[in-house]
């Protein structure tokens, strides 16, 4: 009989909660190899390999529906692992480029404030957006399909200049929030909440967003690996700061 591990052992090894594993079973994404007479779930090597694939894809920001499609389409597990490795290396390179871009911008901003030199004379403007792709926003919204579709429609109707302007504004908003964090403002302070209000207005310009959806988006700042990595590339703690600020905004202004 093949080696099998009870759900408690899988939880210990993987760091995934038992509740999450049961949810994966309920939606047909990761059924256990078998269920014992005591009702406990048991997982064999094949299920552990599949769980690894799920966690890798989640770390890349892929939603559960798309993961189910990918796993359903795959034929060979070794080939799938090679594909996941390729995705991880590509994502590492993209984040390295993005981190270098933001680090360069921070250095240029500090230099321009010290000597009064306009930033555009220090850094070619197009360098601000190295590593940031137009599809990044839509890709990061996989867990919010209705909003992703609204973003896709809005982007399709824009000129390239408008798309680039939107990228500049999103980058600028993240840097402004990092500056508020560095200045020591609490997440519920007025300057921060004014900043979040501008973000909320930009968000709802695409489509109406319920309070619960806004709170779910706030949670994704730390729970969505792609989002969290983008914030942390700017400054450590920014993802949690953004989430706390959005949750404070929802409680004070949207409740």
Is 0.85 surpassed by the pTM of this model? no
The predicted structure's pLDDT at residue 140 = 56
Look up residue 35 and give its two tokens: 């269920």
The predicted structure's pLDDT at residue 125 = 41
Read off the pLDDT of each residue in 203-219 and give the average, rounded to a whole number: 90
Mean pLDDT highest for which of 61-75, 105-119, 216-230? 216-230
132-254 folds as: Globin-like (1.10.490)
**Res 35 pLDDT > 80:** yes
- Which among 102, 172, 101, 95 has a CA at the least distance from the CA of 140? 95
Read off the pLDDT of each residue in 42-54 and give the average, rounded to a whole number: 89
The predicted structure's pLDDT at residue 206 = 84
For the range 93-101, what are the long-range contacts, defined as Cβ-Cβ under 8 Å and sequence gap of 24 or more?
94/131, 94/133, 95/131, 95/229, 95/230, 95/233, 97/130, 97/131, 98/130, 98/131, 98/132, 98/230, 98/233, 99/233, 100/130, 100/131, 101/127, 101/128, 101/129, 101/130, 101/131, 101/132
CA dist 27 and 66 (Å) reads 13
The predicted structure's pLDDT at residue 151 = 74
Average pLDDT value for the chain: 80
**Which residue shows structure tokens 């060979």?**
76
| pLDDT per residue as tens digits for the range 86-144 | 877 777 776 777 677 667 667 766 776 677 655 443 444 444 444 444 444 445 566 67
Domain 4-74 sits in CATH 1.10.1660.10: yes
Domain limits, the chain: 4-74, 132-254
């Amino acid at each position: 009989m093949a080696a099998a591990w009870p759900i408690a052992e899988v939880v210990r090894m993987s760091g995934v909660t038992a509740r999450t594993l049961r949810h994966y079973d309920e939606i047909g994404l990761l059924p256990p190899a078998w269920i014992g007479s005591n009702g406990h779930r048991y997982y064999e090597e094949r299920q552990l390999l599949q769980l690894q694939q799920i966690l890798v894809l989640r770390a890349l920001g892929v939603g559960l529906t798309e993961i189910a499609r990918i796993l359903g389409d795959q034929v060979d597990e070794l080939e799938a692992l090679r594909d996941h490795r390729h995705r991880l290396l590509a994502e590492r390179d993209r984040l390295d480029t993005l981190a270098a871009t933001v680090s360069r911008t921070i250095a240029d901003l500090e230099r321009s404030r010290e000597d009064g030199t306009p930033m555009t004379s220090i850094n070619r403007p197009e360098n601000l957006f190295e590593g940031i792709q137009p599809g990044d926003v839509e890709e990061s919204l996989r867990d919010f399909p209705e909003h992703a579709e609204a973003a896709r429609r809005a982007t399709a109707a824009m000129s390239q200049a408008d798309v680039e302007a939107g990228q500049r504004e999103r980058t600028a908003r993240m840097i402004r929030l990092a500056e508020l964090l560095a200045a020591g403002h609490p997440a519920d302070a007025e300057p921060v909440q004014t900043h979040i209000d501008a973000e909320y207005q930009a968000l709802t310009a695409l489509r109406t967003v319920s309070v619960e959806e806004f709170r779910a988006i706030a949670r994704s700042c730390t729970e969505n690996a792609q989002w969290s990595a983008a914030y942390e590339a700017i400054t450590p703690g920014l993802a949690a700061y953004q989430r706390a600020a959005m949750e404070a905004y929802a409680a004070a202004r949207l409740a």
